[in-house]
Structure 1
Amino acid sequence: MSADPQSVLSVGATLGEGPIWVARDAALWFVDIKGHRIHRYDPATDVGRSWAAPCQVGWIVPTDDGLFAVGLQTGVHRFDPAQGSFALLHAPETHLPGNRQNDACVAPDGALWFGSMDDAEEADSGYFYRFHKGVCVESGLPAVSITNGPAVSPDGRTLYHTDTLGKRIWRTELREDGTVGNTGLFAKIEEDAGYPDGPTVDAEGCLWTGLFGGWAVRRYDPAGKLMREVRFPVANITKIAFGGEGLTTAYATTARKGLDMTALTEQPLAGDLFAFDPGVAGLPGHIAAL
């Protein structure tokens, strides 16, 4: 595996997002939010497969019943790949019809954390939620227009969450009961470097973020110091996930959204799934206990 990102699956995603390595089937799953698609990539066979979603789909995570949970615009649904079916579990924002779901992660305790956003990318109507063992609660974190993440530190004590339009990544204390404590600024993305998109934490406790419009992903140490930047041949990198043997391959989703015909001609790989050698392992994934 090269240290330079290489396209491994050509899907031409309008808004590829939410890559996640699912150990039980040794595959990388991700979504195309605007394309209403769920994708699966099997690196052993180099084969991809996709399913149609009934509306915008922001994320996918494995659940403790052997199936998946997905964040549709209409709420959290259980997804059965064998049937291609979706069943509503919880609709937290029926009062916000202009919102959709955007990103998610599973904490070490099995709690599902996910965020919403204003689909028009204007109003500060995006919130973070915690869904665990049948109970879904709003986190109490400040509302922003576009949420991304969250991600959880290896010890389960820190929640990283992103205000994409504000170009800030925040760090919040995560208590044992799942409630949040004090919040502080983790990192601010400078002008002309793109917008911080999905965050991911590696086995050394460092945080990686995709840069939408920034042509790169970045790695920050636990104190928020920039350690590394990996450049891509496409502008919009949304998020990475660690997978493969030993969780030593980084997979990155990308997007064609916002690119005009000239840009698409110059970036023929935009929207593909990429892979590269990050030089560090990832954390084992957790299973959502809903």
Structure 2
Amino acid sequence: MEQVTAVWPLGATLGEGPVWVERDAALWFVDIKAPAIHRFDPASGATQSWSAPAQVGWVLPAEDGSFIAGLQSGVHRFDPATGSFTLLAAPEAGLPGNRLNDATVARDGAIWFGSMDDAEEAVTGRFYRMDTSACADTGIAPVCITNGPAFSPDGGTLYHVDTLGRQIWASQVEGAAVISTSLFAEIEDGAGYPDGPVVDAVGNVWIGLFAGWGVRCYAPDGTLLRYVRLPVANVTKIAFGGPDLTTAYATTAAKGLSEAELAEQPLAGALFAFDAGVAGMAGHLAKI
């Protein structure tokens, strides 16, 4: 049984998108529904928070020292020094019921990100790729709630999630092109819904389980290797951090829990940490 510790019991409504930022040795993440960007410094225990002007699905470090954030209104540049958000692209300006939900940075500095129907009903969630020249639909089939994507260590496989369909997919990619897509794993009824994926240094795929009380780890061939149980039901995503990238930081959510469930889960919405026993991959900086 892994020792899981609540390192910041902030009570996020929908904590999401953890990312380890090496340049300041800190864990960054968001609260989508109480829109804010959060920073946790594990060395000192210090925390910082910035309000966001709309629901914010993700925040990723950029090459120029700023951050790129995915808001309901589009992709923005975020400056922690001023707390300002500057719109860069609005790929779904014609879909006001959608919002951006999860993202990752590829080796070449492009950001791959997904969208979803905020009402969690319509099949309007799509995956996009954005670089310095364009923001374009990847052509991956739309679903209601996208999560991920995440890349394999060699950059050739893109893992992406159909949350309501309880399916994790693997697409082969070459540069900006998606070549083929196949089913990687399915979550059985009663085990929760697959949320954010992340890949470790040996190619294992880690999936947060919303309503599933933990995190699953799958081998590159789709074999289930591990399950790490947390003391809260809604686990959204992990990120590998710390000096050797072996500490797993997990974001969680209080969203959807009844008063009775919240009473039974006083740490719902906390940021947790545990020893993953394997290293993650160093993140890439967005070239946007």
SS class of match (2:244): helix
| Alignment-mate amino acid for residue 222 of structure 2 | G
SS class of match (1:121): coil
Shift in Å, 1:212: 0.1
Q: 2:4, 2:184 → 1: CA distance?
A: 26
**Matching residue of 1:81:** 80
Structure 1 position 270 matched with structure 2 position 268: yes
TM-score, with structure 2 as normaliser: 0.99
Q: 1:162, 1:18 → 2: CA distance?
A: 14
1:126-155 C-alpha deviation (Å, 9 max, x unpaired) = 000000123111000000000000000000
Q: 1:5, 1:59 → 2: CA distance?
A: 24
- Structure 1 residues 161-180: aligned runs within 5 Å: 161-175=160-174, 177-180=175-178
**Matching residue of 1:7:** 6
**Matching residue of 1:260:** 258
Q: 1:37, 1:66 → 2: CA distance?
A: 19
Maintained 8 Å contact 1:199/1:210: yes
| Alignment-mate amino acid for residue 150 of structure 2 | A
SS class of match (2:11): coil
- Structure 1 residues 7-86: aligned runs within 5 Å: 7-86=6-85
Q: 2:138, 2:77 → 1: CA distance?
A: 22
**Matching residue of 2:210:** 212
1:203-227 C-alpha deviation (Å, 9 max, x unpaired) = 0100000000000100000001100
User: How many residue pairs were aligned?
Assistant: 288
1:45-82 C-alpha deviation (Å, 9 max, x unpaired) = 01111000001000000011100000010000000000
| Alignment-mate amino acid for residue 40 of structure 2 | Y
Runs of 4+ in 1 over 4 A off after TM superposition: none
| Alignment-mate amino acid for residue 85 of structure 1 | S
SS class of match (2:23): helix
Q: 1:118, 1:93 → 2: CA distance?
A: 11
Q: 2:2, 2:132 → 1: CA distance?
A: 40
**Matching residue of 1:154:** 153
Q: 2:107, 2:2 → 1: CA distance?
A: 29
Maintained 8 Å contact 1:4/1:230: no
Shift in Å, 1:11: 1.1
Shift in Å, 1:5: 1.4
Which structure 1 segments of 5+ residues have no match? none
Q: 1:195, 1:99 → 2: CA distance?
A: 20
Structure 1 position 249 matched with structure 2 position 239: no
Alignment match of 1:183 (pick from 177, 181, 184): 181
Q: 1:4, 1:101 → 2: CA distance?
A: 33
Q: 1:134, 1:65 → 2: CA distance?
A: 17
| Alignment-mate amino acid for residue 90 of structure 1 | A
Q: 2:227, 2:189 → 1: CA distance?
A: 16
TM-score, with structure 1 as normaliser: 0.98
| Alignment-mate amino acid for residue 165 of structure 2 | G
**Matching residue of 1:197:** 195
Identity %: 64
**Matching residue of 1:110:** 109
CA RMSD of aligned residues (A): 0.8
| Alignment-mate amino acid for residue 61 of structure 1 | L
Q: 2:184, 2:265 → 1: CA distance?
A: 31
